[in-house]
Structure 1
């Protein structure tokens, strides 16, 4: 949670969802925000505008927020409400989302702190104007396909021999080699997809792949990436992904368009 200054006992605080240029208050009129019985509204600072809401300060204290983090349903509710406000603003123009639970003691303090980052906000708004984010995830089988079983021995001997030992070692080496080849092929697939989509995107960002225990059994995520794409190139992205599915044989998931969360920088 982002705060400003030492914790103090007070009734309300200013929650900041996002920063944008000019926006009509009407775009936010029907949004409940975090449901704190206070309207989502605009807070001008310099030549920019913050989208804010008064919230009960006690609901966002360190202890209260820690409790929310431990409640998955409540955390998802807050995240969805935050995203809904950001998305509504983004339909009216470039919008820089702020992290969940960005909080200040007052409107005045929020404006002062945000103004200190005005140059960074302007840079981010220029970078994302007219562009959206597409997410792409690539999966490959966790293990390589099994080779055909070896032909049965025809020597007629029932007792193990040194040849049997060598055959066993060769099989073990073969399994290891296939695993290494499978791993290398998966990495090449990820690079192929990332390079191809990079030719369509204005910018790209590789994200951390999901841990194996979070995935369905039998598949491994080899690429988790975000691409900043001009709004009029959506068809190019879809066409490129479809071609990559055919050429690589990999499972490729495409999602979006999203507000460019991955390309606004740390603000």
Structure 2
């Protein structure tokens, strides 16, 4: 179900298709009241629940014409438009996840109709049950570790001695200063990477699962600090306070800036097993 159905191919028909936001357990924990009133996708009908056996999907009927390949590709190039759709998707997923484990599906997961969506629930029931079991009573937390501020490059220079001997001595001195500066930068980076790895190791020991994400290099407007670790962790709800305390202690112990964000719906941990 994580792949959009071929119904998003070129179609001129002004029909409705089934948009799937998330999959939950089909228990009393899932209630229509939890999603009532949510807008969902622009132009769509009311958000509703679609059950199949022990699983329930949070769905919405949306105009097929709004999700053709041409329309969706154009939307992907419009940052404001795609962010609006992503926020609408996340709002529904978050509402479902607030009352129990929910497997969030990718943006624009579509099926031709409810019957096709139910068939997909049945076909992938084993995977959905496995993921729901893993993320139950867990949340996703993001952690970013930053390296030290970049040292200033301005250096006090002695006046250049007159004559060729003076110029030669100055060139040698400048060369040594450059090599020492580069060596110092390399050592600081290696030290920062070592700290980031140690932070990640301690957090992984506390988490049920973890993922490393792409770092962003130098942080704009942040005194030249470098992003050394970007990771996300699946942490049991009862260990939330322990996580916050550990992050604070690691920051104090290492003298490193560490950012903790969350809790989030565990998007990063629903594609496994």
Please, what TM-score do these two structures have when normalized by structure 2? Answer: 0.88
Unaligned segments of structure 2, at least 5 residues: none
1: CA distance, partners of 2:6 / 2:171: 70
Distance 1:215 1:239, change over 3 A: same
| Residue equivalent to 2:245 | 239
Structure 1 residue 66 corresponds to structure 2 residue 73: yes
Within the candidate set 3, 10, 20, 2:5 is matched to: 3
User: Equivalent residues in 2 for 1:126-165 (5 A)?
Assistant: 126-141=133-148, 143-144=150-151, 158-159=162-163, 160=166, 162-165=168-171
SS at match of 1:222: strand
Aligned counterparts of 1:169 and 1:211: Cα–Cα separation in 2 = 27
TM-fit CA distance, 1:148: 7.9
Deviation at residue 167 of structure 1 after TM alignment: 2.1
Query: 2:17 aligns to what?
Result: 13
Instruction: Give the counterpart of 2:198 among 192, 202, 206.
Output: 192
Deviation at 1:3, TM superposition (A): 2.1
C-alpha displacement of 1:266? 5.9
TM-score normalised by structure 1 residue count: 0.90
1:216 maps to what in 2?
A: 221
Residue aligning to 1:122: 129
Residue 58 of structure 2 corresponds to residue 47 of structure 1? no
In the TM superposition, what whole-angstrom CA distance separates every residue of 1:154-206 from its partner, at most 9, and x where no partner exists? xx963316543432222121011011101101211211211121122111111
Contact in 2 for aligned 1:144/1:182 (Cα 8 Å): no
Are residue 182 (structure 1) and residue 184 (structure 2) matched? no
* Aligned partners of 1:14 and 1:106 also within 8 Å: yes
Instruction: Tell me the secondary structure at the aligned position of residue 199 of structure 1.
Output: helix
Counterparts of 2:44 and 2:204, CA distance in 1: 44
Question: Once the 2 structures are TM-superposed, how far is the Cα of residue 126 of structure 1 from its aligned partner?
Answer: 0.7
| Secondary structure of residue in 1 paired with 2:58 | strand
- 8 Å CA contact 2:11–2:64 kept in 1: the answer is no
In the other structure, the counterpart of 2:87 is 80
**Bigger mean CA deviation after superposition, 163-172 or 191-200:** 163-172
Q: Which residue of 2 aligns with 1:251?
A: 257
Question: What CA distance in whole angstroms lies between the structure 1 residues aligned with 2:150 and 2:217?
Answer: 16
How far does residue 216 in structure 1 lie from its aligned partner after superposition?
Answer: 3.2
